[in-house]
Amino acid sequence: MKASDALAQFLIAHRVQTCFELVGGMITHLLDSFAESGQFNIVSMHHEQSAAFAAEGVARYTQGKTVAVAMGTSGPGATNLITGIGSCWFDSVPCLFITGQVNTRELKGDRAIRQQGFQELDIVEVSRSLTKYAVRVDRSEDLLPALHQALSLALSGRQGPVLIDIPNDVQRADVPDALVAQWLNTPLNIDTAAEADRHALHTLSELCATAERPLICIGGGARWADAMDDWLQAADTLGIPYVSTLMGHERVVARPHYFNMIGSYGNREANFAVQHCDLLIVIGARLDVRQTGSDMADFARQAKVVQIDIDPAQLNNRVQADLNICTTASRFFAAFPLRADTFPCLGNTWFAQLAQQRERADRNEYADWIISPSVLFNTLNRTLRHQHVDYVCDVGNHQMWAAQSLRLSPNQAVHYSGGMGAMGFALPTALGVAIQSQRKVVVITGDGSLQINIQELDTLNRLGLDVTIIVMNNTVLGMVKNFQDMYFDGRDQSTRKGYSSPAFSKIAEAYGIEAHRVENEANLIQLLEQTAELHTPRLIEVMMVGATECRPRLAFGAKLDEQLPRLDA
């Protein structure tokens, strides 16, 4: 069997059947085999970075249970995948990247030259630090074993991206039928993390027994655990408060005992809870500077800290916890069910105190603006609360406005570019989410972010997906401009000076997409209220000229619960 046909059959056998690509000479054999199988959904994008993000979107929607392929040709096609590979690496998203390569006889090998073949590039070495497994396959008989290893590792433990680089002559070589049959019938070797240490769980129980003001913090490492929602519902029923990080917020349903997102751009009530609890249980969060603030000595100042993480290197890193438990969130939820006697010292005063803080902070932080982000997201919360919907956010102030204000209902999720923080993430990722879900997706983006992969508006129009794009256009790179206001006396090189943005509504119309431009809240609310009933591509350009602040925010060096502007002001 031709090697590219064998590869297609192997992926089909393991239910990897969606491929995002930009065609190039060194992947034509692979694409032809995918197409001829009749069992692949091949989505042609206009940039390999978009293909990478879209494949990531498939895995994000399925909570890491379905892997998609992002494919690029040799040379620039391969390097264009790198940002998407890094995004999957930092946010622990399983994805299979396949790159075409020049014929093996054209590889430079050990020669002291830069390049032998046209568009030859050693993508394996380039991507090694951002993948769980990266290999070039130089013999056709090694192709299926390498794929088996790659998929097994992508789905094992702390999930992540893998890359297979396949020279063109290997793609068209033969693989013995017996070898193909062997690997098609070999189950993946998916390794699960170790169970939580019983002694550590006993120590945790003892800490819980004396805690009067406990707090649970859900991080990105817990967001895909099947049992997370049931476990948090139990916390809510028992009166145990909880918060989340940005990545944890992706799937935490808004219930009475959820006090929203912590961190530099977090909700005031969440940061108050962290700073005044006496036991902080952190599940799957790395506690980076955006989560804790820079004053590490003051973080969770009154609390014993317990950190649960799948990655032993992440424990006792920035935060020296009082107790570390190395296991997955899923295993932890199973091993440590919440019961009525878990926190015997918990009274009603702790929740009442936090509820008071939440009520105090529940205000329109942007009432002085013509269009308030709070009004925009509250309208989405109200209008779409009964719908199955995925939000996908780009990076900038609009991401933080969304994270502060979106309140998820059951069967809803939001997707953030966390560790990579990649502008241009939202639109192509939304395409992957929508293709997998076949349901409504809402993109939250800004003028700077949308321009990076704006070409995928054509892909959206071609596919006709139920995607609404909300462009919060302040005509400036607002988050960096905010830094310039704080640290450079407002000098705005490259955020305003030297920066420009187009009329996005006109560009969308040129791509064949329904588009609207709004300049006041009344028109915005009217358009957003129509979103639930419309199921075709749509772009809403929200003009917010001069809106460059995120409120509240934490100044560098300040304590976590001293965000600006101060409420008493």
Residues 422, 426, 430: CA angle, nearest 5 degrees: 140
* The CATH number, out of the four listed (3.90.190.10, 3.30.70.1880, 3.40.50.970, 3.40.50.1820), of the domain defined by the range 3-184: 3.40.50.970
Omega cis (within 30) before 552:
yes
For domain 373-543, give the CATH superfamily: Thiamin diphosphate (ThDP)-binding fold, Pyr/PP domains (3.40.50.970)
Instruction: Please report, for the chain, the start and end positions of each structural domain, with discontinuous segments joined by +.
Output: 3-184, 198-361, 373-543
The alpha carbon dihedral of 367, 373, 377, 379 has a sign of positive
At 458 the three-state DSSP class reads helix
- Please give the pLDDT value at position 365: 93
- Please give the pLDDT value at position 487: 87
Rounded to whole angstroms, the Cα distance separating 6 from 180 reads: 6
* The CATH number, out of the four listed (3.40.50.1220, 3.40.50.1970, 3.40.190.170, 3.40.50.10860), of the domain defined by the range 198-361: 3.40.50.1220
Residue 406 contacts residue 384 (beta carbons within 8 Å): no
Q: Which long-range contacts (CB under 8 A, 24 or more apart) does 462-466 make?
A: 463/43, 463/431, 463/434, 463/435, 464/536, 464/537, 465/431, 465/434, 465/435, 465/441, 465/537, 466/434, 466/438, 466/439, 466/440, 466/441, 466/535, 466/536, 466/537
Helices 3-13, 28-37: inter-axial angle, 10-degree rounding: 50
Q: What is the 3-state secondary structure (H, E, C) of 292-343?
A: HCCCHHHCCCCCEEEEEECCHHHCCCCCCCCEEEECCHHHHHHHCCCCCCCC
Span 66-121, pLDDT tens digits = 999 999 999 999 999 999 999 999 999 999 999 999 999 999 999 999 999 999 99
- Please give the pLDDT value at position 569: 46
Rounded to whole angstroms, the Cα distance separating 315 from 54 reads: 31
Low-confidence ranges of the chain (pLDDT < 50): 569
> Could you tell me the pTM of the whole model?
0.97
- Please give the pLDDT value at position 390: 98
**Which residue's entry shows tokens 């809510």?**
236
Evaluate whether 3-184 and 373-543 have a shared fold. yes
Scored b (16 or more CB within 10 A) or e, 6-20 reads bbbbbbbebebbbbb
Span 168-203, pLDDT tens digits = 999 999 999 999 999 999 999 998 777 899 999 999
Environment class of 282 (CB within 10 Å of its CB; exposed 0-12, middle 13-18, buried 19+) = buried
- Tokens of residue 524, six digits: 């915005």
Rounded to whole angstroms, the Cα distance separating 3 from 208 reads: 57
